[in-house]
């Protein structure tokens, strides 16, 4: 990947939030948003873990990126990490499907190359998590060495872990234990210094599939419907239209296309997978 840490692209582009291995819902995204490469896509990270089909999800996205490198962009999320994927399911899924950890190892090596941020039309700043107290200007992102495992702290960690807090103005310690929370003044200053109109990110579950804060200066897009097969939430993809200009987002520049879980989840969900796997792998007794 010869892409820098900040990739500049143009609208029209459809932006996708967390997917977390929900492959059928990824297919649903292409159904409603249009198939690549006819539709340009920007994915904001968290492709793997928690869902049943992280392998299929990241495999498809990788193929699409290889095939259409200028029409598909993939940002790194906090789950694109060796440490996190060993806990939250991707590692286990790889070992079960491939019989060894090699595939996991190759994918996690690839994650080190994923870019950290994208700018659409020089006005919409896109990142997985949020802002960092170490980053005031986007130029400072360009000098980070991203070709490594996500560290526990520092600007690279903050970009993939931070969350907005509508009730605050400044940075504060994050209850997640990594990154920070950031408030209205931080957002205002960042947009002003970098002459941007909007911050677009993912990383947080939204009941309606998306959430807009700070007087339309920051949005969260969430693309995993019925998260964990229980949350009953909607999901969305954000369609950014071309021709937008100026320091404020106008009506019609951005459209949240809301969708629900794909019907395939009902016939190929955890129940079916459990029965398939029950054959050899169940322990015989409660120990």
Contact of 182 with 174, CB cutoff 8 Å: no
Number of residues that bind other proteins (CB under 8 A): 46
Contact of 62 with 140, CB cutoff 8 Å: no
According to DSSP, residue 126 is labeled E
Strand order in the sheet with 172-173: 163-164, 180-182, 172-173
Considering only residues 145, 252, 275, 280, which one is a binding residue for other proteins as defined by CB under 8 A? 275
- Nearest-CA neighbor of 179 among 131, 213, 220, 128? 131
67 binds other proteins (CB under 8 A): no
Considering only residues 230, 246, 251, 252, which one is a binding residue for other proteins as defined by CB under 8 A? 230
Considering only residues 27, 62, 71, 88, which one is a binding residue for other proteins as defined by CB under 8 A? 88
Which CB, 41 or 171, lies closer to other proteins? 171
Residue 52 Cβ vs other proteins, minimum distance, rounded to whole Å: 5
113 binds other proteins (CB under 8 A): no
- Nearest-CA neighbor of 45 among 81, 15, 80? 80
- Is 20 catalytic? The answer is no
Contact of 74 with 61, CB cutoff 8 Å: yes
**Residues near other proteins (CB under 8 A):** 20-21, 49-52, 87-89, 92-93, 152, 165, 175-176, 181, 204-207, 211, 220, 226, 228-231, 233, 261, 265-266, 269-275, 277-278, 282-287
What are the catalytic residues? 79
């Amino acid at each position: 990947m010869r892409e820098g840490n900040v990739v500049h692209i143009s609208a029209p582009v459809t932006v996708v939030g967390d997917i977390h291995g929900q492959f059928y819902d990824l297919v649903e995204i292409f159904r409603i948003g249009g198939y690549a490469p006819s539709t340009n896509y920007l994915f904001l990270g968290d492709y793997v873990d928690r869902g049943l089909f992280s392998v299929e999800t990241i495999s498809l996205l990788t193929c699409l990126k290889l095939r259409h490198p200028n029409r598909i962009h993939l940002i790194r999320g906090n789950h694109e990490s060796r440490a996190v994927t060993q806990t939250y399911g991707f590692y286990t899924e790889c070992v079960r499907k491939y019989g060894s950890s090699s595939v996991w190892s190759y994918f996690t090596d690839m994650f080190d190359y994923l870019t950290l941020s994208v700018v659409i039309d020089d006005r919409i700043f896109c990142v997985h998590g949020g802002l960092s107290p170490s980053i005031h200007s986007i130029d400072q992102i360009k000098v980070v060495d991203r070709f490594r495992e996500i560290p526990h702290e520092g600007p690279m960690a903050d970009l993939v872990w931070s969350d907005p807090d509508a009730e605050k103005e400044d940075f504060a310690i994050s209850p997640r234990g990594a990154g920070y929370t950031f408030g209205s003044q931080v957002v205002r200053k960042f947009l002003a210094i970098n002459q941007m109109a909007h911050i677009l990110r993912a990383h947080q579950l939204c009941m309606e599939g998306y959430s807009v804060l700070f007087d339309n200066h920051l949005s969260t897009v969430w693309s995993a419907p019925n998260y964990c097969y229980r949350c009953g939430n909607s999901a969305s993809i954000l369609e950014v239209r071309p021709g937008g200009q100026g320091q404020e987002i106008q009506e019609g520049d951005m459209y949240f296309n809301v969708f629900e879980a794909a019907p395939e989840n009902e016939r190929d969900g955890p129940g079916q997978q459990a029965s398939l796997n029950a054959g050899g792998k169940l322990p015989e007794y409660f120990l």
